[in-house]
Structure 1
Amino acid sequence: MAKSQGDSTLTVAVAFAANLVIAIAKTVAATLTGSASMSAEATHSWADAGNEVFLLIANRRGGRDADARRPLGYGREAYVWSLLAAVGLFVVGAAVSIWRGVTELLHGGDSAEDYRIAYLVLAIAFVLEGISLLQAVRQLRRDAKTFDSDVLEYALRTSDPTVRAVFAEDAAALIGIAIAFLGILLHQLTGEVVWDAAGSILVGVLLGVVAVVLIDRNRVFLTGESGSPRIHDALVARLAEFPEVTTVRFLRPEFIGPKRLFVIASVDLEGDRVESSIARTLRDLEHRLEQDPYVAEAVLTVSEPDETGTSGG
């Protein structure tokens, strides 16, 4: 888990450095050109940079070891800070971008003085955002192979909220740059400010959509995400490998942090055992199951006579 957390921190740190440079460059370009689309993009990048600060806090606080106060660890704090990032920064970024576009649409604005500055900054931003996105995709692809999943599906379902946020914001940033480029280009070609204003509004809408997706994913994990059927089946198969277990009657995994599961299960044990022997066997099975790097803690019981089949809920 330490290596995985280190990978996530590196991904976030790369994104933060890239977005900080981009935000400064876009702000200068927006000031010099007066472009609403460039202003929206500057807001977007400042929101992303601020977002990464929250994500770094999420990694640090969510990665703390379990203690007497939190015997299951602090993993869920990662979702709290990631949720705050999505609400406080993406939504603010979306609102400011839409407001800037609507204001220019209603009241007009000055034409950009030097379009070359805007194009140059957008080109540099595209390269830097692409580098940051590649770092996130590299981590997602490596982890997705473990679950035999494609990158996009894994990005939406992963229990790591920080790498998902970086992937989402970098992908949105590249789309936003393309929108801003078209808005500025059409403004230059037609002289109509409506294109630049529309670009700003579309960037804001894009940020709002990303915010909703990230808020929902963090909500799901905060309220008790049990993981995919693939995770459930893998845990059942793992328990069934133990020679002491004849049948897994019930199993419920729940994420308590990035790549950390709390597992409750009831099983049938091989042979007839006295109560003291059953207790020792169950504790031994729990400890062996907890050797899996994704299982933070396991609690096993002997199944009731009327329990039939395994369950994920």
Structure 2
Amino acid sequence: MTVIIAFLANILVAVAKTVAAALTSSASMVAEAAHSWADAGNEVFLLIADRHSAKPKDERHPLGYGRSAFVWSLIAAFGIFTAGAIVSVMHGIQELGSAEPVEDPVIAYVVLGIAFVFEGSSFLQAFVKSRRLAHQRGSSTWDFVLDTSDTTLRAVFFEDAAALIGLGLAGGSILAHQLTGEAVWDAAGSILVGILLGIVAVMLIRRNVAFLIGTTVSVGVRARAGLALLSDPEIERVTYLHLEYVGPNRLFVVAEVDLAGDAQEHDVAVRLRDLERQIESQEIVETAVLSLSVADEPSLEFDAGSGIR
């Protein structure tokens, strides 16, 4: 729903900005129009990411299709960089030597104001969701958005935040041009919007690449997983724990555990299988693999407040 709201908002805003850019001849408005069209196109990729990553695992994909969300989100981030950042910067540079004044700046201000309302509503929805989830995990909203495996939520959050800042830059640039009569201010606004989009795109690209090649979970997630394992009466010790994101909010869990008692090999195998199925019943777990600890392996200790010690 977050992505759909952002997509509809971007389409409406992109049309309005395009019309305003044509009527005002403003370089900043052209940059803003390119920004919104890039965002709208990117939301399509994010919708594909959500749909494809939700497919259930099968024989060819035993860990599911979750990582495809990172792939499609990576493509969307490249879209921001190429269709938004590069176009805006190049257009601004081309307009630096132009003496053409911005026509009917009131039109630009009205469209920017309307765009701020739409973009603000979309950002508020993403912010509220992020803050709620961050509170549940005992994290700040900023840290949660940066670290979350929900790549579509992060993309919408930062794209909408960049859109609001970009609107301010565009409006300020047009105002400076109107007050000074210097067209360079309007061109500079286009360049600044492009630089802003480039920064956001690079950040999103880096985060998606990190999840694609494998990134560690936070100490809090690791601690909660370890404590959850130890809370089971069947498990006395945990000597190894590997947690890897294989999709948005989907984990691959590998652990070595020491089971209570001294049962025979067949009974131990059955107990391990049952424990794996029990762990996999958790919504966040895609696949769990358990094996037995060796007696001389040190136990891992977990603390809910400080993670692993």
TM-score in terms of structure 2 length: 0.95
Contact 2:149 2:211 in 1 (8 A): yes
- For structure 1, which segment, 80-89 or 176-185, has the greater mean C-alpha deviation from structure 2 after superposition? 80-89
Is the counterpart of residue 154 in structure 1 residue 155 in structure 2?
no
**Counterpart Cα distance in 2 of 1:121 and 1:266:** 59
Q: Can you give the 5+ residue segments of structure 2 that lack an aligned partner in the other structure?
A: 302-307
Count of residue pairs brought into register by the alignment: 302
Distance apart, 1:218 and its partner CA: 0.4
The counterpart of 1:28, out of the listed 5, 11, 19, is 19
| Contact 1:51/1:89 (8 A) holds in 2 | yes
- In structure 1, the residue matched to 2:226 is 236
Distance 2:274 2:225 in 1: 16
Aligned with residue 258 of structure 2, among 268, 275, 286: 268
Per the TM alignment, residue 302 of structure 1 is displaced from its structure 2 partner at its CA by 0.4
Asked whether 1:176 is paired with 2:175, we answer no
Query: Residue 32 of structure 2 corresponds to which residue in structure 1?
Result: 41
Aligned equivalent of 1:297, options 287, 290, 308 = 287
d(CA) in 2 for partners of 1:306 and 1:138? 48
Q: CA deviation at 1:277?
A: 1.3
> What TM-score, normalized by structure 1, do the two folds share?
0.94
1:138 deviation in Å? 2.1
For 1:30, the aligned partner's letter is A
CA distance in 1, matches of 2:169, 2:300: 49
Structure 1 residues 113-152: aligned runs within 5 Å: 113-152=103-142
Q: Which runs of 4+ in 1 moved over 4 A?
A: none
1:71-150 equivalent positions in 2, closer than 5 A: 71-105=62-96, 107-150=97-140
Q: CA deviation at 1:148?
A: 1.1
Per-residue deviation at 1:297? 1.2
CA deviations 1:204-224 (Å, max 9, x no partner) are: 000000001100110111111
Aligned match of 2:197: 207
CA contact (8 A) 1:38 1:180 kept: yes
Partner-residue secondary structure (3-state), 2:233: coil
Residue of 54, 61, 66 corresponding to 2:45:
54
Q: Deviations over 1:45-66 (max 9, x none)?
A: 0010001010001011111111
| Structure 1 residue 139: Cα displacement | 1.8
User: Which of 193, 197, 201 is the matching residue for 2:187?
Assistant: 197
Question: 1:307: how far off?
Answer: 2.1
Counterpart of 1:250 (choices 231, 235, 240) is 240
Give yes or no for contact 2:35–2:83 (8 Å, CA) kept in 1.
no
Secondary structure of 2:299 counterpart: coil
Task: Give distance in 2, aligned partners of 1:310 and 1:85.
Answer: 40
Q: Does the 8 Å contact 1:48/1:90 carry over to 2?
A: no
Q: What is the aligned-residue identity percentage?
A: 55
Counterpart in the other structure of 2:176? 186
1:226 partner SS? coil
Q: Which amino acid is the alignment partner of residue 21 of structure 2?
A: A
CA shift at 1:92, angstroms?
2.7
Gaps of 5+ in 1: 1-9
In 1, Cα distance between equivalents of 2:300 and 2:70: 29
Deviation at 1:146, TM superposition (A): 2.0
